[in-house]
């Protein structure tokens, strides 16, 4: 029996040494579970096991501490020993600091409300709230520490219900908000973001399958969260609708219009089935393959959920390939156009000579360094000096000759 107890004690000790700190209470709870499993009865035996497993140093300290007085007639020595060690080993919490930390906690960007609530529950244990205050403090922190659209919905519901809003109402609203966002994404067929790295891309594919529905190839989104398969009105022509008593509602309680139900002939991978489909009144949403069809049709889950390595984008072009394909466009120097333009003047058009515009002072250095501008400047100065006679004078001289 001693050897057996020693083996089990080693197992308990592996959970962590009983050292001075806040983990002693957790270690003590594990020890009590071990005593129940090993059927260790009697306060004397339980005290001996505790002092043996806690280690010789703490056992010596326990002997030097004053004995605890019994708080009731039924309190045994094991309970008094636990209380004595807890008071010595577990430090007192700074309630003010712990409550300040609790009041400053907020949701992380990608954190759900349930994960945030789990962190709040861990922190509130150190705050010393009364049991009646715990749920109220958790409720307020969930509302004030949430983010974005979820926070607006929670604040709106708190304004409507007032102090009657409880923690379960907050959790229910958060779950509904999450489900609505997921359903909206599935119905709209929004593309999933892709992670790119240089010329390679890793595309996160949606679980899409292509089936033959009434002889027409139809791409459907596999949705294990939908109990029925749904198609949009008009997406499959020639359906013979029959009245449907099914009522579909969103997670916010708003009704989803249902046009009716129909029976279609489906074919996938050699499997032929006649299945029912619900036709919704919403237009242009992605057809959903729900659990009712999944029970009848065996999909190729291996290829559907296969994760492939990053590959180059099909038909994708890089900057180097574009410049190489259009080398003439990106070549240096002035380009030329092969198209011909025709300019037609009016019969009564006359020539007009306009003086050159003055060059801004800020552009003078650039103009002086331009060879074409220098040539034009020399020509202008040459004409101004009288080297070329005016058109009127030339006409008179020609007439005299």
* pLDDT for 340: 82
To the nearest whole percent, how much of the chain has pLDDT over 90?
13
Residues 7 and 80 in one domain: yes
Parallel/antiparallel/unpaired status of strands 195-197 and 258-268 = unpaired
* pLDDT for 374: 60
Residues 137 and 76 in one domain: no
* pLDDT for 141: 93
Last residue in a domain, options 89, 117, 134: 89
* pLDDT for 184: 73
* pLDDT for 168: 92
Residues 120 and 164 in one domain: yes
User: What CATH number is associated with residue 135?
Assistant: 1.10.1200.30
Residues 208 and 228 in one domain: yes
Strand residue runs (E) in 203-257? 208-213, 216-222, 230-232, 248-249, 255-256
- Judge whether 335 lies within some domain: no
Cα 159 from Cα 136, distance rounded (Å): 15
Sign of the C-alpha dihedral, residues 232, 233, 234, 238? positive
Residues 277 and 242 in one domain: yes
Give mean pLDDT, residues 352-365: 79
Cα 52 from Cα 45, distance rounded (Å): 11
Q: Is the pLDDT of residue 383 over 60?
A: no
Q: Is the pLDDT of residue 377 over 70?
A: no
* pLDDT for 88: 79
Residues 181 and 265 in one domain: no
> Cα torsion at 381, 382, 386, 388 (round to 10°)?
-130
Asked if residues 126 and 98 have their Cβ atoms less than 8 Å apart, the reply is: yes
Residues 144 and 84 in one domain: no
Q: Lowest-pLDDT range, 74-78, 184-188, 332-336?
A: 184-188
Asked if residues 28 and 82 have their Cβ atoms less than 8 Å apart, the reply is: yes
Residues 162 and 252 in one domain: no
* pLDDT for 205: 65
Residues 26 and 83 in one domain: yes
Asked if residues 167 and 142 have their Cβ atoms less than 8 Å apart, the reply is: yes
* pLDDT for 248: 74
Residues 233 and 269 in one domain: yes
Most confidently modeled range among 41-45, 188-192, 364-368: 41-45
Asked if residues 126 and 159 have their Cβ atoms less than 8 Å apart, the reply is: no
In the chain, what are the helix, strand and coil shares in percent, each to the nearest 5?
45, 15, 40
- Judge whether 345 lies within some domain: no
What tens digit of pLDDT does each residue of 123-147 get?
A: 898 888 888 889 999 999 999 999 8
Three-state SS for 189? coil
Q: Is the pLDDT of residue 28 over 50?
A: yes
* pLDDT for 317: 67
* pLDDT for 303: 77
Average pLDDT of the chain, as a whole number = 77
- Judge whether 99 lies within some domain: yes
- Judge whether 391 lies within some domain: no
- Judge whether 364 lies within some domain: no
Three-state SS for 278? strand
pLDDT band at 333 (very low <50, low <70, confident <90, very high): confident
- Considering only CA atoms, give the Rg of the chain: 42
DSSP state of 352: -
Which residue segment(s) compose the domain that 156 sits in? Answer: 95-185
Last residue in a domain, options 64, 89, 114: 89
- Judge whether 264 lies within some domain: yes
User: What CATH number is associated with residue 282?
Assistant: 2.40.70.10
Domains identified in the chain, total number: 3
Cα 259 from Cα 254, distance rounded (Å): 16
* More confident call, 302 vs 9: 302
* pLDDT for 18: 56
* pLDDT for 74: 78
- Judge whether 370 lies within some domain: no
Lookup: tokens for 297:
């049709």
- Judge whether 83 lies within some domain: yes
Stated pTM of the model: 0.36
Last residue in a domain, options 185, 214, 236: 185
Residues 299 and 204 in one domain: yes
What tens digit of pLDDT does each residue of 82-133 get?
A: 888 887 777 677 888 889 999 999 999 888 899 999 999 988 988 888 888 8
* More confident call, 202 vs 334: 334
Give the count of beta carbons closer than 10 Å to the beta carbon of residue 220.
Answer: 23
Residues 244 and 280 in one domain: yes
């Amino acid at each position: 029996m001693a050897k057996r107890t020693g083996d089990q004690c080693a197992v308990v000790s592996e959970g962590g040494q009983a050292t001075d700190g806040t983990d002693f209470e957790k270690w003590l709870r594990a020890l009590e579970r071990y005593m129940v499993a090993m059927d260790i009865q009697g306060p004397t035996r339980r005290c001996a096991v505790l002092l043996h497993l806690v280690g010789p140093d703490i056992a010596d300290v326990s002997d030097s501490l004053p004995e605890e007085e019994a708080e009731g007639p039924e309190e045994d020595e094991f309970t008094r020993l636990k209380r004595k060690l807890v008071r010595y080993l577990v430090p007192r919490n700074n309630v003010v600091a712990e409550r300040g930390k609790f009041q400053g906690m907020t949701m992380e960007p990608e954190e759900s409300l349930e994960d945030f609530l789990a962190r709040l529950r861990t922190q509130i244990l150190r705050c010393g709230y009364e049991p009646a205050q715990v749920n109220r403090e958790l409720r307020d922190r969930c509302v004030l520490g949430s983010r974005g659209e979820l926070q607006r919905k929670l604040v709106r519901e708190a304004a409507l219900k007032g102090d009657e809003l409880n923690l379960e109402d907050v959790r229910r609203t958060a779950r509904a908000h999450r489900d609505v966002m997921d359903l909206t994404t599935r119905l709209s067929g929004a593309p999933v973001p892709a992670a790119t790295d240089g010329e390679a891309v890793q595309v996160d594919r949606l679980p899409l399958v292509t089936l033959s529905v009434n002889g027409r190839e139809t791409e459907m989104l596999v949705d294990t969260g939908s109990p029925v398969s749904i198609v949009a009105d008009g997406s499959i022509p020639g359906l013979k609708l029959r009245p449907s008593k099914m009522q579909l509602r969103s997670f916010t309680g708003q009704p989803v219009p249902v046009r009716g139900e129909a029976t279609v002939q489906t074919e996938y991978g050699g499997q032929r089935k006649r299945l029912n489909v619900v036709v919704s009144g919403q237009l242009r949403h992605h057809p959903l393959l729900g659990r009712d069809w999944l029970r009848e049709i065996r999909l190729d889950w291996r290829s559907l959920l296969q994760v492939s390595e990053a590959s180059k984008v099909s038909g994708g072009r890089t900057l180097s390939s574009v410049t190489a394909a259009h080398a003439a466009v990106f070549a240096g120097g002035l380009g030329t156009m092969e198209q011909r333009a025709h300019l037609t003047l009016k019969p009564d058009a006359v020539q007009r000579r306009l003086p050159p515009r003055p060059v801004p002072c800020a552009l003078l250095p650039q103009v002086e360094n331009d060879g074409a501008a220098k040539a034009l400047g020399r020509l202008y100065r040459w004409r101004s000096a009288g080297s070329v006679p005016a058109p009127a004078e030339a006409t008179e001289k020609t007439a005299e000759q």
